[in-house]
Structure 1
Amino acid sequence: MKKLYLNLEALEDRDAWEERGIKLPSYPIREVRDDSLDSPRWLHFGAGNIFKMFPARIQDELLDCGMTDCGVSVATSIDIDGIKAQFAAVDNLTLAVGLRSDAQLDLRVVGCVSEVLSAIPSDPDWKRMSSIFKDPHFQLVSYTITEKGYSIYDSSDAFTKSVQEEMSRDPYECKHLMGITCLLLYERYLTGQRPLTLLSMDNLSHNGSVLGSAVKAYAKSWIEGGFMKSSFMSYLEDDTQISFPWSMIDKITPAPDPGVSKMLEDLSFYGTPEHGVAPFTFANAEEAEYLVIEDNFTNGRPKWDKRGVIFTSRDIVEKAETMKVSTCLNPLHTALAVYGCLLSYEKINEEMKDPDLLNLISGLSYKEGLPVVVDPEIIDPKAFLDTVIVERFPNPFLPDTPQRIATDTSQKISVRFGNNILRYREKDETLLDQLVYIPAVIAGWLRYLLGVDDRGEEMVLSPDPMLDHLRDTMSEITFGEDDKNAIEIALTKILSNQRLFGQDLTETVLATKIIQYFRMMNQGKGAVRQFL
């Protein structure tokens, strides 16, 4: 069987690919790329797996259908040489692997990436970056750079030292992507104050506002330093000129999996001759996908709605995000993460075969989540939840781990649990006494922080910026010892932390219940299982 390598020349033998069930672009890739270079309309920062599997893939499908004629330029400000080399090794192609819940693969080569650029002002690519932003037809800048990519503040809400230094000197020396974005917008402003939309597609609450605030913070400092004209700020703040729409994205996209790599080799896909089926040659993700975007585009809008993307109001975007992160997905993920670690599971899909854990997330969502769910109207919360529990989490092709999902839980627990607690309090404070599953997850997280699994063995805890502080607070608690006084003192300190839960839980009946549940799970080996 002929070996398939991911490059433009190899794609010319269409039969060899299609007889293995791999769909190829039907549009002329080289011609589309040349046209996109001549008249760029879309540039994306952060060309990782979610980009390859979702926005780039649907753009490819639109090209196939003749609904668009443009590709996408890709830029990066980190690991520039590595990312450029990886894209070059596969002629800017990607094999997109859809992981179906019936254990089958959907395979498609994505070819719409026209170029890969360094975004650093001192690099040779800056001339090209600048020309893209000055182009009157340029419509859209998008981002999938993770929450850290927007971060310009430290834990005390002051600018980080490196950001302060950048804000005080020549903008062309900056390396933070928020500063780079500001500088590119300034060049567009100087060219003729042309409109542009900047779209964050990261899993980040109010992501458009976060992006806009960071860019404007750089602009304010550089204007005050005399590096930019004061009228530039008016340009940024006029959302008929520069818009930062909010979005909600949902598509579980794990790192390329070795098991999937082996299946691709069985189909005679070998990536590149030098690297084989390396992680950069393919991306894998679940079938289900949701992208809801505020309909606020100032210079033309992509036709992504023809591929299921929903354009709507900011209010509906916020409701869709709240539905997902506070009720129908993220809280369930956290529950499976902390209890999965305690019960020594290594895969989320394996946890879904556990009746006790299935009962836990079903009660958390159907019994205690849906009664206070924020309904976005464009997506039915129960149908969304049914898909999560019946199809998405049990998918054997999604190699997600509880250990990965347990990362940074302290930063997530307020949104994932605190918000629904507040909704119950607003509805009727007495309803809190009826809650079982929400306090059980919080108690499970606290039990997880002891660093001892249900077998009584030490376990490695996932990274978390508050981990040391929380562990110190619980240092007087010993696994298997029901020291009521020590437990109450330590947990009361944590449960009263409004930054963690968005409220002081010791002012509610939940604190007593959470402490009781924790004590039940700290009786010794097997106590967590018995509690569940």
Structure 2
Amino acid sequence: MSTPASLPRLTRHALSALSQHVLSPGHAAWREPSIGIVHLGIGNFHRAHQALYTEEAMLAEGGDWGICGVTLQGDVAKRNALMEQEGVYSVVERGPEGAKVTVVRALREVLAMPHDHDALFARLADPSVRIVLLTVTEKGYCRNAKTGDVALDNPAVVHDLSHPHAPRSVPGILVAALRQRRDAAREPFTVLSCDNLAHNGAALRQVVCSFAREFDPALADWIAAEVAFPSTMVDRIVPATTDSEHATVAAALGYRDAAPVPCEPFRQWVIEDRFPAGRPAWHAVGAQLVDDVTPFELAKLRMLNGTHSTLAYLSMLGGFATIDEAIADPAMRNLIHAMMTEEIAPTLNMPASFDVADYRDALLARYANPALKHRCAQIAMDGSQKIPPRLLGTIAARIDAGQPFTRLALAVAGWMTFLRGYADDGSRYDISDPLAENLKALAASANGDPRALMDALLGVREIFTAELAAQPAFRAALLHALQLLQDNGARAAVAALQ
């Protein structure tokens, strides 16, 4: 059997031999598009999500929407690997029935900042580029969490304000590129955030405008008036690439791919339909183009992210290593099903076309996918940042409605108990969190007393508001859940809440 290293490299020249692995519209040949999209922060998620949608959209209705991908961390190795393959790569979709390998062609160019600074800004000045798309994570926005404006103490922002023609930060790059378009009297591009950040379009608009206002108020006013920043909601589980993907692709294609991407079968993209300069026909290939993304954001945040965190913390205590292993436990599945049905879904206000029960069932099926092995330890990271939007907002909505939230309280109690640093069987694990040292010290100071643990952690204002921390119903439900975990362990506590 050939090993991946012994096979020829995957390139565009190989595509004619791989017809069963490339997307086809069924009625027309693929035409190589010119570049119409610049994507900042190219990584696995973009290549398994927006790039795939974009290729399908071009096959469905045409258009020059080829993608220039940009790595912002100086990752020359990634740039070189993809460019040696002329931008093509494979997506390995792993489901219960096995693996499906698809070769994607929408990526036409890859640049690495700061090495390709001039090439990037030449591309961004090109009127053919009508969308700049981002997946840079919330950290990449250089955003002041309290004000929403650009963080003026961020080192990259400090640099960019002093060197506006050699920017390093995302807001610096966007403002410099938009200044080029304004000064050349060219139509601005649309800026499309696809990061997991509430109201991501509006949030990015505020960051960009506040950055521009620091040195050119007129430019800030022009951006605010002329540039569209639609919001989006994206969803697809895209794990890190492993040796398994390289082997799967080699066996399926007979070619060596240096940059394959694994993912689950499920995908979702909800987009605020505001594109003055035009867009690909994403609506024709499954994306939802809507007037307001907010209800979909909230559904994902509470139904998916909230239950994901619940599974992660209770699993870390109960000894489940992966999400599929946890949801295969009947008591855990029943808990999550009831939590979504009875406690979370009633807090949502969705369009009539959105079936919450179908969404719930799709989530449960995704969790059960045995091919992904989504690690609970990975989902459990950064709980201090995740707990407030994923769980506390839903609890507040239940309190306002005068409704119970027993399972949601168990989720928060699971996170608090998780901070002790060991599972019910005594095995230890690391706690990765921006507030880790403080949180671990507070948990240790409780000496195993549930009330002391609750009081200590409810005092952390970065997580719990004073109003919620003092709310009698919240305190009573949380203390009951903490005591349940203390007395019985996570598995028995979950079983008790059926």
Distance 1:190 1:354 in 2: 61
1:407 aligns with 2:381: yes
Distance 1:261 1:399 in 2: 17
1:452 aligns with 2:445: no
Distance 2:353 2:386 in 1: 25
Shift of the 377–413 alpha-carbon distance from structure 1 to 2, 3 Å rule, reads farther
1:370 aligns with 2:352: no
What is the letter of the counterpart of residue 527 of structure 1? G
Distance 2:470 2:255 in 1: 58
Q: Which residue of 2 aligns with 1:236?
A: 223
In the alignment, which of 164, 168, 175 is matched to residue 175 of structure 1? Answer: 168
Shift of the 108–190 alpha-carbon distance from structure 1 to 2, 3 Å rule, reads same
Distance 1:458 1:133 in 2: 49
Contact 1:249–1:292 (CA under 8 A) maintained in structure 2 = yes
1:513 aligns with 2:477: yes
What is the letter of the counterpart of residue 349 of structure 1? D
What is the letter of the counterpart of residue 233 of structure 2? M
1:253-279 CA-partner distances (Å, limit 9, x unpaired): 11124444443344364525xxxxx5x
What is the letter of the counterpart of residue 221 of structure 2? S
Q: Which residue of 1 aligns with 2:188?
A: 195
Contact 1:154–1:160 (CA under 8 A) maintained in structure 2 = no
Distance 1:183 1:447 in 2: 47
Distance 2:424 2:47 in 1: 39
The DSSP-based 3-state class of the residue aligned with 2:47 is: helix
Contact 2:202–2:231 (CA under 8 A) maintained in structure 1 = yes
Following superposition, the deviation at residue 244 of structure 1 comes to: 0.7
Following superposition, the deviation at residue 497 of structure 1 comes to: 4.3
> Aligned runs of 1:313-392 on 2, under 5 Å?
313-314=291-292, 317-326=293-302, 328-389=303-364, 391-392=365-366
Distance 2:160 2:71 in 1: 20
In the alignment, which of 468, 474, 489 is matched to residue 452 of structure 2? Answer: 489
Q: Which residue of 2 aligns with 1:527?
A: 489
Shift of the 471–376 alpha-carbon distance from structure 1 to 2, 3 Å rule, reads farther
The DSSP-based 3-state class of the residue aligned with 1:75 is: strand
Q: Please report the RMSD computed on the Cα atoms of aligned residues, expressed in angstroms.
A: 2.5
Contact 2:74–2:112 (CA under 8 A) maintained in structure 1 = no
Contact 2:142–2:169 (CA under 8 A) maintained in structure 1 = no
1:284 aligns with 2:266: no
Distance 1:322 1:368 in 2: 14
Q: Which residue of 1 aligns with 2:369?
A: 395
Structure 1, unaligned runs of 5 or more? 224-229, 273-277
> Aligned runs of 1:67-146 on 2, under 5 Å?
67-100=62-95, 102-120=96-114, 123=115, 125-146=116-137
Following superposition, the deviation at residue 222 of structure 1 comes to: 2.2
Identical columns (%): 24
Say which is worse superposed, 449-458 or 467-476, in terms of deviation.
467-476
In the alignment, which of 391, 404, 411 is matched to residue 441 of structure 1? Answer: 411
Distance 1:72 1:113 in 2: 5
1:299-324 CA-partner distances (Å, limit 9, x unpaired): 1122110111111113xx00110011
Contact 2:315–2:326 (CA under 8 A) maintained in structure 1 = yes
Structure 2, unaligned runs of 5 or more? none
Shift of the 516–66 alpha-carbon distance from structure 1 to 2, 3 Å rule, reads closer
The DSSP-based 3-state class of the residue aligned with 2:121 is: helix
Distance 1:167 1:25 in 2: 44
Shift of the 331–154 alpha-carbon distance from structure 1 to 2, 3 Å rule, reads closer
Q: Which residue of 2 aligns with 1:22?
A: 21
In the alignment, which of 235, 252, 260 is matched to residue 237 of structure 2? Answer: 252
Shift of the 233–527 alpha-carbon distance from structure 1 to 2, 3 Å rule, reads closer
TM-score of the two chains, using structure 2 as the length reference: 0.90
Distance 1:332 1:341 in 2: 14
The DSSP-based 3-state class of the residue aligned with 1:192 is: coil
In the alignment, which of 465, 471, 477 is matched to residue 434 of structure 2? Answer: 465
The DSSP-based 3-state class of the residue aligned with 1:419 is: helix
1:173-228 CA-partner distances (Å, limit 9, x unpaired): 321122111111111110105232100011111111221122122211122xxxxx
What is the letter of the counterpart of residue 408 of structure 1? D
1:306 aligns with 2:284: yes
In the alignment, which of 41, 45, 48 is matched to residue 43 of structure 2? Answer: 48
Distance 1:310 1:51 in 2: 17
1:58 aligns with 2:58: no
The DSSP-based 3-state class of the residue aligned with 2:289 is: strand
1:349-370 CA-partner distances (Å, limit 9, x unpaired): 1111111211221121112112
Contact 1:72–1:113 (CA under 8 A) maintained in structure 2 = yes
1:115-171 CA-partner distances (Å, limit 9, x unpaired): 112343xx4x33332333333333110011111111243889853241452254130
Contact 1:330–1:416 (CA under 8 A) maintained in structure 2 = yes
What is the letter of the counterpart of residue 69 of structure 2? V
> Aligned runs of 1:260-279 on 2, under 5 Å?
260-267=245-252, 269-272=254-257, 278=258
Shift of the 62–4 alpha-carbon distance from structure 1 to 2, 3 Å rule, reads farther
Distance 2:287 2:23 in 1: 22
Contact 1:44–1:73 (CA under 8 A) maintained in structure 2 = yes
Shift of the 161–126 alpha-carbon distance from structure 1 to 2, 3 Å rule, reads closer
The DSSP-based 3-state class of the residue aligned with 2:424 is: coil
Following superposition, the deviation at residue 495 of structure 1 comes to: 2.3
The DSSP-based 3-state class of the residue aligned with 1:511 is: helix
Distance 2:98 2:427 in 1: 37
Shift of the 199–164 alpha-carbon distance from structure 1 to 2, 3 Å rule, reads closer
TM-score of the two chains, using structure 1 as the length reference: 0.85
What is the letter of the counterpart of residue 43 of structure 1? V
The DSSP-based 3-state class of the residue aligned with 2:425 is: coil
In the alignment, which of 204, 207, 223 is matched to residue 211 of structure 1? Answer: 204
The DSSP-based 3-state class of the residue aligned with 1:173 is: coil
Distance 2:343 2:160 in 1: 47
Distance 1:68 1:75 in 2: 21
